[in-house]
Amino acid sequence: MFFVLPYPVIDPVLVDVGPFPIRWYALAYVAGIVLGWFYMKRLCAADRLWGDVRHPTPVSIDDLVVYVALGIVLGGRLGYVLFYNPAYYLANPLEIVAAWNGGMAFHGGLVGTAIGMAIFARRVGVRFLSVADGVAAVVPIGLFLGRIANFIKPELWGREAPDVPWAMVFPGAGPIPRHPSQLYEAGLEGIGLFVVLAVAIRLGALKRPGLSTGLFTAGYALARIASEFFRQPDAQLGFLFGGATMGMLLSLPLLAIGLALIAYALRPRRPPAVLA
């Protein structure tokens, strides 16, 4: 216990603007979307990164951010309601819209974002994978900020770890020190994935449609599965079978999709036909 780090208690409300509290949780989503919008505009302006692949223009990203933002919020909330606590929200339907109290699912947000990207790609006449590759590069920014917001709230804390020097006693989680699993996820899903994708893009990943998307999808799945070994399962679900959690289960299809996209993107290209 001598080595246990004190939990840095931070007010979840950043500032009150009249009767409206500005929470770190909401600020993380807004900041993630704004920073992602700025970074993707920069990527789309660098034609050399894309080669001969048709990609969204920097101006069109202003429209894309609206589709993505709606997909994140609506998909993330509905995903949490359906996957993690359907019984509670069936009994309390008005709580479904109370996203400010926490409760967003990445996997649901991913589905919502994919739908938004598909609509955008159809409207601007660009391949879906080219849109997805750009978005995949910026998503780790939002994941990092979101996990930091989980830590500040605090929620989604780790499993009991009384012998781990950096364990913390989280408010509302009992007296036993726990893994700060939110920070593990911020490092793996946020910083780690951002660096991997940034390096891959500099090496030409955007020139192969689907590669950045596959790297992100498979990378996130592996990072999430690894983090789940330290994260306390949701109380209403617990362990599903054999020590598996809902987060692990939902990540397995992502891993398969990611690996399939990587294989598709790296397939040998056929040389252009030559007319005799």
Residue type, 28: A
Residue 240, token pair as written in the block = 């599903």
Does residue 159 contact residue 152 with C-beta atoms inside 8 Å? Answer: no
Residues 35 and 215: their CA atoms lie apart, in Å, by: 21
147 labeled binding residue: yes
- Give the Cα separation of 159 and 156 in Å (integer): 10
In whole angstroms, what is the distance from residue 71 CA to residue 73 CA?
6
Length of the chain measured in residues: 276
User: Are 188 and 227 contacting, i.e. CB atoms less than 8 angstroms apart?
Assistant: yes
Neighbours of 8 (CB within 10 A): 9
Residues belonging to the binding site are: 147
